[in-house]
């Protein structure tokens, strides 16, 4: 999956409103844009086969048209970055999740399939070198 980007941009005019009325109008326009963006994001995420990270950038910029009238440009941009899947190999794991206290002298290890780091079952739920989870992803 390649990186993807979605965006929404709306222009908000002052329309001679008082400060309080304009703030309410601005909030309504921002909420409407966020709702539209949320629908677009969900539609995009449903089609994906692998996990991704979504970063949202919100901007509100004042602007002037050719007549000198002030208005605001509100934009939301969502960047989708694919997540690299890490697969972990198990080594001599006990049938239960944690080692019992009376077995402390017995060392049970697992090796990360991503970076090769050997970790202790009793101490590391994820690789201490690269952060890959101990459980294999299916």
Chain segment 79-123, per-residue pLDDT in tens: 888 877 666 555 555 555 555 555 555 567 778 877 878 877 767
Chain segment 38-63, per-residue pLDDT in tens: 999 998 888 888 788 888 899 988 88
Q: Are 91 and 127 in contact (CB under 8 A)?
A: no
H/E stretch holding 23: helix 19-46
Q: Are 87 and 65 in contact (CB under 8 A)?
A: no
Chain segment 3-30, per-residue pLDDT in tens: 788 888 888 887 777 888 888 888 999 9
User: What pLDDT is stored for residue 20 in this prediction?
Assistant: 87
Q: pTM, whole model, 2 decimals?
A: 0.52
For the chain, strand residue ranges (E) read 4-13, 52-64, 70-82, 109-111, 118-120
């Amino acid at each position: 999956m390649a990186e993807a980007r979605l965006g929404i941009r709306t222009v908000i005019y002052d329309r001679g409103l008082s400060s309080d009325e304009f703030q309410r109008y601005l909030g309504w326009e921002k909420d409407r844009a966020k709702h539209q963006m949320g629908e677009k994001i969900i539609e995009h995420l449903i089609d994906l086969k692998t996990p991704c990270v979504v970063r949202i950038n919100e901007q509100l910029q004042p602007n002037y048209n050719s007549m000198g009238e002030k208005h605001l440009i509100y934009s939301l941009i969502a960047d989708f970055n694919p997540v690299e899947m890490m697969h972990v190999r198990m080594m001599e794991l006990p049938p239960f999740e944690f080692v019992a206290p009376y077995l402390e002298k017995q060392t049970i290890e697992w090796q990360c399939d991503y970076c090769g780091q050997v970790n202790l079952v009793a101490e590391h739920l994820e690789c201490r070198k690269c952060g890959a989870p101990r459980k294999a992803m299916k």
